[in-house]
């Protein structure tokens, strides 16, 4: 199997100049052939394949005005063309949007698909030699490729793709259900105890600092050196927010994966939630990032990550008797079951139901198919907007699966 290790690298001045040239040439090749492919498609109805673009690039390097394309390694530019072809394939497969032109003012990256190795506690790259790197672990397996990136704060990172041995299923632990929310980021029930983890809200924590930096940026003259410095200062604040959130989610997901063999969570539509009035809080919580971290960490440790259908009524079901409370809305955080008179905390009850549903899915091998659906007349408030969104047969529109 393949694994990735992202490390920070510290190139010297000569290596920085070489990387800057490689970034520029790779970006130019992408933009040049993206424009050429679009033009050819408008004229003939057919785009350009990778072989056609690579053949044309070889002739383009021989022209006097484009001799500078020979400075970086040919594999870097060819990899840029392969990425462009993959972007078009993903677009036509409806997996992503149309490829966009790259800018030199955003994050820069190139990929070295060959001739990379670890030597003298550094990373050896073509034409660059040994680059000082902060390696967190030893890599003794074959390196497939290395992707070097530069952030807007002038920091360099290298993502090393290498081969590892397949893991055997030896992990032992508990089965836990986790419920995602905004008041409590996760509510975990492992079959014995139930506990909550509060969100850190980094965007709101650094909002004042970001506002001051952005006001200073707005007063700078466009195109001036002071404005470029101010842009970098603002970028550092955004990087601080991103790093704080990522570090917290990494630590939280690591704790969950170390304590559990199977984790059950709800498959929320984060993209849909990001279009609501709770968008800022949704992005700040990082639901998708947390689920992604849990998924790949369990996979590397031979664990299992089970996602329950988003329309499973985890909050409305009584975890003791199974009664479904159709009149439960988002404002109610605690409720009493009208059937068995059991008091419930909304988040804890949801985590219990998710764990039970995950065990049922594992035992029956029916992933993604819930026995009980939340869809019905009481899913959302019946109003003018809801009636307009209903189809001609009167079937209610499916909700986005709001966090509990």
Spot the catalytic one: 266, 284, 309, 357: 266
pLDDT, one tens digit per residue, over 205-235 is 999 999 999 999 999 999 899 999 999 999 9
The answer to whether position 136 is within a domain reads: yes
Distance (Å, rounded) from C-alpha 257 to C-alpha 294? Answer: 7
Give the number of domains in the chain.
Answer: 2
Give yes or no: 347 in active site. Answer: yes
Segment 307-322 mean pLDDT? 86
Which residues, in sequence order, are CB contacts of 109 under 8 Å at separation 6+? 23, 147, 148, 149, 150
CATH number at residue 357: 3.30.420
Distance (Å, rounded) from C-alpha 314 to C-alpha 349? Answer: 7
Q: Give the pLDDT of residue 387.
A: 38
Distance (Å, rounded) from C-alpha 33 to C-alpha 48? Answer: 8
List, as one string, the DSSP characters of 92-135.
Answer: HTTSS-------TTS-EEEEE-SS-EEETTEEEETTTEEEEEE-
Residue labelled with tokens 């497969």:
93
Give yes or no: 14 in active site. Answer: no
Domain around 368: 174-196+248-388
Q: Give the pLDDT of residue 19.
A: 94
pLDDT bracket for residue 402 (50, 70, 90): very low
Geometric angle at alpha carbon 14, from 13 and 17, rounded to 5° = 85
pTM for the complete prediction?
A: 0.80
The answer to whether position 233 is within a domain reads: no
Spot the catalytic one: 190, 309, 347, 357: 347
If asked whether residues 153 and 39 sit together in one domain, one would say: yes
Q: Give the pLDDT of residue 220.
A: 94
The answer to whether position 403 is within a domain reads: no
pLDDT, one tens digit per residue, over 72-103 is 999 999 999 999 999 999 999 999 999 999 99
The pLDDT mean for the chain works out to 86
DSSP state of 326: T
If asked whether residues 180 and 306 sit together in one domain, one would say: yes
pLDDT, one tens digit per residue, over 20-45 is 999 999 999 999 999 999 999 999 88
Residue 79 phi, psi (nearest 5)? -65, -35
**What b/e string do you get for 366-375 counting C-beta neighbours within 10 Å, with b at 16 or more?**
eeeebeeebe
Kindly give the pairing relationship between strand 129-134 and strand 2-10.
antiparallel
If asked whether residues 321 and 355 sit together in one domain, one would say: yes
If asked whether residues 254 and 144 sit together in one domain, one would say: no
Q: And the tokens for 85?
A: 């072809």
Q: At what angle do helices 74-92 and 50-61 cross, to 10 degrees?
A: 150
Give yes or no: 192 in active site. Answer: no
Q: Give the pLDDT of residue 393.
A: 38
If asked whether residues 145 and 260 sit together in one domain, one would say: no
pLDDT, one tens digit per residue, over 118-148 is 888 889 999 999 999 988 888 888 899 999 9
Spot the catalytic one: 179, 284, 348, 357: 179
If asked whether residues 322 and 348 sit together in one domain, one would say: yes
The answer to whether position 221 is within a domain reads: no
The answer to whether position 231 is within a domain reads: no
If asked whether residues 73 and 179 sit together in one domain, one would say: no
Contact 11, 156 (CB under 8 A): yes
pLDDT, one tens digit per residue, over 346-401 is 889 889 889 888 888 888 876 555 555 555 444 444 443 433 333 333 333 333 34
């Amino acid at each position: 199997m393949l694994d990735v290790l992202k490390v920070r690298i510290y190139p010297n001045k000569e290596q920085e100049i070489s990387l800057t040239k490689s970034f520029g040439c790779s970006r130019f090749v992408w933009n040049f052939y993206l424009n050429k492919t679009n033009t050819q498609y408008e004229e003939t109805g057919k785009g350009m394949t990778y072989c056609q673009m690579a053949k044309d690039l070889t002739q383009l390097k021989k022209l006097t005005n484009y001799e500078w394309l020979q400075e970086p390694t040919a594999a870097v530019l060819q990899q840029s063309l392969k990425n462009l072809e993959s972007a078009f394939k993903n677009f036509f497969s409806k997996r992503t949007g149309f490829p966009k032109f790259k800018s030199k003012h955003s994050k820069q990256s190139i990929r070295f698909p060959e001739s990379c190795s670890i030597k003298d506690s550094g990373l050896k790259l073509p034409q660059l030699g040994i680059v000082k790197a902060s390696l967190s672990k030893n890599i003794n397996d074959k390196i497939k490729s290395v992707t070097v990136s530069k952030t807007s704060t002038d920091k360099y990172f290298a993502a090393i793709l290498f081969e590892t041995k397949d893991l055997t299923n030896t992990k032992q632990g508990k089965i836990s259900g986790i419920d995602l929310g905004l008041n409590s980021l996760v509510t975990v029930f492992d079959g014995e105890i139930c506990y909550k983890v509060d969100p850190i809200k980094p965007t709101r924590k650094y909002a004042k600092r970001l506002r001051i930096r952005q006001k200073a940026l707005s007063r700078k003259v466009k195109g001036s050196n002071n404005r470029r410095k101010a842009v970098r200062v603002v970028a550092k604040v955004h990087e601080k927010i991103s790093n704080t959130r990522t570090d917290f989610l990494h630590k939280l997901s690591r704790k969950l994966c170390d304590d559990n063999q199977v984790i059950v969570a709800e498959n929320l539509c984060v993209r849909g939630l990001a279009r609501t009035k709770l968008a800022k809080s949704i992005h700040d919580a990082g639901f998708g990032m947390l689920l992604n971290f849990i998924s790949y960490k369990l996979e590397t440790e031979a664990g299992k990550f089970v996602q329950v259908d988003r329309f499973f009524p985890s909050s409305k079901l009584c975890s003791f008797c199974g009664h479904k409370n159709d009149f439960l809305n988002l404002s109610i955080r605690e409720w009493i079951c009208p059937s068995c008179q059991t008091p419930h905390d909304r988040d804890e009850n949801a985590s219990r139901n998710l764990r039970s549903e995950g065990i049922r899915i594992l035992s029956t091998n029916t992933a993604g198919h819930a026995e009980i659906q939340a869809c019905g007349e009481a899913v959302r408030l019946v109003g003018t907007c809801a009636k307009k969104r209903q189809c001609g047969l009167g079937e209610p529109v499916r909700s986005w699966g709001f966090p509990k």
